[in-house]
Amino acid sequence: MVKANANYGRLQGNYLFSTIAKKVAAYTEAHPDAGIIRLGIGDVTQPLSPAVISALHSAVDDMADAKTFHGYAPDLGYEFLRSAIAEQDYRARGCEISDDEIFISDGAKSDSANIQEIFSPDAKVAVCDPVYPVYVDSNVMAGRSGEWIESEQRYSDFIYMPCTEANHFMPEFPKENPDLIYLCFPNNPTGMTITKERLQEWVDYANRIHAVILYDAAYEAYISEPDVPHSIYECEGARTCAIEIRSFSKNAGFTGVRLGFTVVPKDLKADGVALHGLWARRHGTKYNGAPYIIQKAGAAVYTPEGQKEIRQLVGYYMENARMIYEGLKDAGYTVYGGVNAPYIWLKTPDGMSSWDFFDHLLDSKHIVGTPGSGFGPHGEGFFRLTAFGTHENTREAIKRITEA
Amino acid sequence: MVKANANYGRLQGNYLFSTIAKKVAAYTEAHPDAGIIRLGIGDVTQPLSPAVISALHSAVDDMADAKTFHGYAPDLGYEFLRSAIAEQDYRARGCEISDDEIFISDGAKSDSANIQEIFSPDAKVAVCDPVYPVYVDSNVMAGRSGEWIESEQRYSDFIYMPCTEANHFMPEFPKENPDLIYLCFPNNPTGMTITKERLQEWVDYANRIHAVILYDAAYEAYISEPDVPHSIYECEGARTCAIEIRSFSKNAGFTGVRLGFTVVPKDLKADGVALHGLWARRHGTKYNGAPYIIQKAGAAVYTPEGQKEIRQLVGYYMENARMIYEGLKDAGYTVYGGVNAPYIWLKTPDGMSSWDFFDHLLDSKHIVGTPGSGFGPHGEGFFRLTAFGTHENTREAIKRITEA
């Protein structure tokens, strides 16, 4: 008799953003004229930049002619894109990463969900709390979670690293040694970041205890301050302990285009097994490459025009981040993030729970945000707003939130 | 200490088509003027059809304007595409499938590799032999294979269903009851197909033993004869025992575009657990939807023009299949498939091994095919040629093979 994967039965509720989408859809149906402003899910609103649009049209034309048609892409990505990434995102910053250590994919969400597959099923997983739910849920599905403890709102077998006001949202080395450590800087959801010095300590720690850091740098383009590392490979020794995941979603607005990549250095081993070969094998067996036209669009991001355009796009969203941060602060809210990240992490007023504040904002202000508790128990009492709206909507949202 | 997924260590060699690609690349480098003709990997050569190209350009233009820009796609696919598929591929054929039972993805390879995840880690897996390697390898990675038995060229825990000349390449019900049964018709690699009557017997069998059939119908568009089922849902009772996987790669030439879908009926349960919800949860957690522009291209395939154009495309390749089949048959080869499928399955001459024949064709004829033994032990002594080349190359290939 066939049985379902029992690990799925341990998942709590729906995927966070699916739950929010359903709540908002129900509210919109009941109140079609509410004029809802969405600052919840991290979805971008600005169109693709001209260099990207032009590359897409040109690649589509290539597909219309047998002489320039492209069938299956190379499993691991086209050389033209891998080399642009390795050169501009890494070697130009002094990080020793070769072209063939870059694996092109359909996005950071897939990669951060799939990467756990190449590790032992009994690997001990450490996550920040609060945290992007994909790291947790993908490991629940893989059977690494143990049981859900309702009273503590946590799984028995994960190591949670609290990120709170008290520790400035910086995870501390856990008491028990983990095998896999998920870190994300600039952080989703808190918008906080890490210094190079502190990240070096994490690299040294991982090398010392023989753990692997899965470093999610999807928001790297939003770094505006010095001494904030753009890549974990800026740290000495990261090639033997770290995998880095990047996205085109937030720097180039590719949420609906789907492109990302993962860096697996050839020096990285798990108990003697090179992880580069395992990830290559997973790609080759379970994936058929990102579409040619999408990879061409990705390459356009690395042209001088493309770089100029995405800086403008990031600047546009960071202006929203500034508006949210300053508007809420001036109105007496306690706010974090928003300086090196497109996320603002705010304390709910009057000790409201995260979901109560969600309902309040939706019902009386017609604004959608994300409840902090959806990211983990230490997110309770916090709330995430994103800077990915339009200027107009963002301004209007802050006006609505801050007015009596 | 972090450890790698030990199941990966049980995989035999590289993914078949990666191995072939490397062999061909090495040969091409040594003999740059050899004029190699590739009839190995099932990659298409003809450009995308005008309706698809036009839809792609139009969707790219949508992405250039904030008013028509599309961010994250719905997890499970856009309604416009799901409804076109459900209506035209299923309900128009009398199959009772609703729009929300269609899950859009980036292709049949990903889906057929990922679908095993929603089942119990100890599920007993039955595969045809020979078989598309992804079904086998994805289950090896998931720990369902047991040990590799070198002398038998098989894994200890899989159920292999031999498809041989003796049984007309039709799998028989295995002695031991499986939980998951992978079937693919029209078949890759043999090019053979199944009658509706025989498929109904499989459906009845699966319902009786409470197994799930994972039905890969990626080559459905190549069916040319009556009484060959286009979908497993043409059989009574399939809604309670079958998942169907489809592709845009071979009917519309999307190998480099990446689009596919999987059908999970809501009636389908594994020991009481509805699999529709599990697959939805997997999509929501580990995937971020197929790109908007690609889904628009997919929808163009379902327009009257699109349908006419893909029939021409399929007709083009089927003319190649006819040339290969008849050319080889006239030259005294024993050949199968090629009538309802783009694959020709031929017996190697003089009892040569499959890889010896591969080397012979590459070295002395400069033609790339796929060794039958790469698909399983009962593929030994056979060889697959694909019909996806150009007319010119296909004609030339057959001339080279059949001349002394």
pLDDT, tens digit (0-9, with 9 covering 90-100), for A295-313: 999 999 999 999 999 999 9
Best to test chain B binding among A58, A131, A285, A390 (most B CBs inside 10 Å): A285
Residue count of chain A: 404
- Of A1, A69, A284, which has the smallest distance from its Cβ to B47's Cβ? A69
Distance of residue A39 Cα from the nearest chain B Cα, in angstroms = 14
Residues paired with residue A272 on neighbouring β-strands, in sequence order = none
CA distance B396 to chain A (A): 18
Classify the C-alpha dihedral A67-A68-A72-A74 as positive or negative.
positive
Instruction: Say if B284 is an interface residue toward chain A (CB within 8 Å).
Output: yes
Same domain, B371 and B292: no
pLDDT value at A356 more than 90: yes
- What is the spatial distance between Cα B282 and Cα A138, in angstroms, rounded to a whole number? 9
Longest dimension (CA), chain A: 66
Residues of A in contact with B309 (CB under 8 A): none
Q: Are residues B212 and B347 in the same domain?
A: no
A residues 345-374 closer than 8 Å to B (CB): none
End-to-end CA distance of chain A: 60
Residue A2 lies in a domain: no
Question: What is the CATH classification number for the domain harbouring A24?
Answer: 3.90.1150.10
- Decide: helix, strand or coil at residue A35: coil
Range of the domain at B379: 6-46+305-402
Relative to beta strand B102-105, strand B260-263 is antiparallel
Flag whether A164 is in a domain: yes
Asked if residue B259 is part of any domain, the answer here is: yes
Closest CA to B347 of B130, B66, B90: B130
* Cβ <8 Å between B294 and A289: no
Domain containing residue A238: CATH number? 3.40.640.10
Q: How do strand B159-162 and strand B154-155 relate by DSSP bridges?
A: unpaired
Nearest residue to B196 via CA among B228, B218, B224: B228
A23 labeled binding residue: no
Q: Are residues B122 and B184 in the same domain?
A: yes
A275, A303, A331: which is the final residue of a domain?
Answer: A303
Does residue A257 belong to the interface with chain B, where contact is any CB pair within 8 Å?
yes
Are B251 and B126 in a shared domain?
Answer: yes
Are A264 and A243 spatial neighbours (Cβ–Cβ below 8 Å)?
yes
What pLDDT is attached to residue B404?
Answer: 72
Residue B128 located in a structural domain: yes
Q: Are residues B190 and B236 in the same domain?
A: yes
Distance CA A114, CA A245 (A): 11
Chain B CB contacts of A253 under 8 Å are 71
- The domain boundary residue, chosen from B272, B303, B334: B303
Instruction: Tell me which amino acid residue A268 is.
Output: L
Is B61:B292 a contact under the CB 8 Å cutoff?
Answer: no
Are B339 and B222 in a shared domain? no
pLDDT value at position A163? 98
A5 within a domain of the structure (yes/no) = no
pLDDT value at position A255?
Answer: 97
Q: Are residues B104 and B81 in contact, defined by beta-carbon separation less than 8 angstroms?
A: yes
Inter-chain CB proximity A255 and B8 less than 8 Å = no
Q: What is the pLDDT of residue B13?
A: 75
For residues A353 and A328, is the Cβ–Cβ distance under 8 A?
no
Whole-angstrom distance, CA of residue A387 vs CA of residue A42: 8
Query: Which tokens go with A48?
Result: 């693709």
Residues in chain B closer than 8 A to A275 (CB atoms):
4
For residue A249, give the nearest of A288, A291, A301 by alpha carbon: A301
Let me know if residue B89 belongs to a domain: yes
Residue A180 lies in a domain: yes
CA A175 distance to own-chain centroid: 26
Is A312 an 8 Å CB contact of chain B? Answer: no
Give the mean pLDDT per block of 10 residues along chain B (404 residues).
97 82 91 92 94 98 98 95 98 98 98 98 98 97 97 96 98 98 98 98 98 98 97 98 98 98 98 97 95 98 98 98 98 97 97 96 95 95 97 97 88
Cis ω on the peptide bond leading into residue A304 (within 30° of 0)?
Answer: no
pLDDT at B164: 98
- pLDDT at residue A14 greater than cutoff 80: no
Mutate to test the interface with B, among A214, A288, A320 (most CBs of B within 10 A): A288
Residues B155, B110: one domain?
yes
Question: What are the Cα distances from residue B396, in Å, to B35, B42, B86, B399?
Answer: 11, 18, 41, 5
- Residue whose tokens read 């937030």: A250
Put simply, whether B110 touches A (Cβ < 8 Å) is yes
A258 inside 8 A of chain B by CB? yes
User: CB distance A63–B45 less than 8 Å?
Assistant: no
The token duo for A261 is: 């990549």
Residue type, B274: A
User: CB-based burial of residue A266 (10 Å sphere; 0-12 exposed, 13-18 middle, 19+ buried)?
Assistant: middle
Whether B282 has its CB under 8 Å from any CB of chain A: the answer is: yes
In this structure, the number of other CB atoms found within 10 A of the CB of residue B359 comes to 15
Question: Are B295 and B378 within one domain?
Answer: no
Paired residues of B273 in beta bridges: B270
A72 touches chain B (CB under 8 A): yes
The answer to whether A258 is a known ligand-binding residue is: yes
Name the phi and psi angles at B200, rounded to 5: -60, -35
Q: Which of A312, A328, A317, A341 is nearest to A390 (CA)?
A: A317
For residue B75, which residues of chain A lie inside 8 Å, CB to CB?
15, 18
Give DSSP secondary structure letters for A351-376: G--HHHHHHHIIIII-EE-EEGGGG-
Q: Tell me chain A's radius of gyration from C-alpha atoms.
A: 21
Residue A31 DSSP label: -
Is residue B329 within 8 Å of B319, Cβ to Cβ?
no
Q: Same domain for A35 and A73?
A: no
pLDDT at B42: 84
Distance CA(A266)–CA(A245), nearest Å, equals 15
Question: In Å, how far are A19, A100, A279, B17 from A105, measured between CA atoms?
Answer: 26, 14, 12, 19
Q: Would you call B264 an interface residue with chain A, using a CB distance cutoff of 8 Å?
A: no
Q: Which two tokens stand for residue A216?
A: 């999610």
* Chain A residues touching residue B295 (CB < 8 angstroms): none
Residue-wise pLDDT tens digits, A276-302:
999 999 999 999 999 999 999 999 999
Q: Annotated binding residue at A42?
A: yes
Give chain A positions within 8 Å (CB) of B250.
none
Neighbours of A23 (CB within 10 A): 16
Q: Which two tokens stand for residue B96?
A: 């009772």
Count of domains in chain B?
A: 2
Task: Report which DSSP code applies to A242.
Answer: E
Residue tagged 């032999």 (tokens)? B129
Residue spans of beta strands (DSSP E) within B101-229: 102-105, 125-129, 148-149, 154-155, 159-162, 180-184, 212-216
Q: Quickly tell me which residue has 């190995």 as its tokens.
A: B40
- B65 reaches A (C-beta below 8 A): yes
According to DSSP, the residues that pair with A260 across neighbouring strands are: A105, A247
Optimal mutation site among B38, B288, B317, B388, interface A, most CBs of chain A within 10 A: B288
Residue B75 has a pLDDT of 86
User: Pick from A57, A134, A281: which is nearest to B57 by CB?
Assistant: A57
Shortest alpha-carbon distance between residue A332 and chain B (Å): 33
End residue of a domain, out of B277, B303, B329: B303
Q: Are the C-beta atoms of A20 and B75 separated by less than 8 Å?
A: no
**Environment class of B353 (CB within 10 Å of its CB; exposed 0-12, middle 13-18, buried 19+):** middle
Q: Quick one: B188 and B240 in the same domain?
A: yes
d(CA A359, CA A248): 32
- Report residue A19's pLDDT band, with 50, 70 and 90 as the boundaries: confident
What's A244's DSSP letter? E
A292 — contact with chain B (CB < 8 Å)?
A: yes
Q: Which of B8, B119, B292 sits opposite A281 (nearest CB)?
A: B8
The partner residue sitting opposite A113, judged by closest CB among B70, B118, B285, is B285
Say how far residue B332 (Cα) sits from the centre of its chain: 29
Q: Of B188, B176, B239, give the one whose Cα is nearest residue B213.
A: B239
Amino acid in position B387: A
CA distance B261 to B89: 11
Q: Is there a domain that residue B1 lies in?
A: no
Q: What percent of chain A has pLDDT over 90?
A: 95
Instruction: Tell me the torsion sign for CA atoms B115, B119, B120, B126.
Output: negative
The HSE-up count of residue B229 (CA atoms within 13 Å, CB side) is 27
Q: What value, to the nearest 5°, has the Cα angle with vertex B238 and ends B234 and B241?
A: 160
Q: Do B120 and A57 touch (CB under 8 A)?
A: no
| For range A2-23, the mean pLDDT | 89
Question: Does one domain contain both A189 and A134?
Answer: yes
**Amino acid letter for position B149:** I
Provide mean pLDDT across the span A249-257.
97
Residues B21 and B131 in one domain: no
Structure tokens at B128: 């045809």
Cβ of residue A314 closer than 8 Å to a chain B Cβ: no
Distances (CA, A) of A115 to A82, A212, A262, B28, B71: 19, 11, 9, 34, 24
Task: Read off the DSSP letter of residue B123.
Answer: -
Cα dihedral sign for A91, A97, A100, A102? Answer: negative
**Are residues A210 and B2, on separate chains, in Cβ contact within 8 Å?**
yes
CA nearest to A248, candidates A72, A116, A85: A85
Neighbours of B233 (CB within 10 A): 26
What is the rounded average pLDDT for all residues in chain A?
Answer: 96
Contacts of A390 in chain B (CB under 8 A): 66
Which residues in chain A touch residue B45, judged by CB atoms under 8 angstroms apart? 66, 69, 71
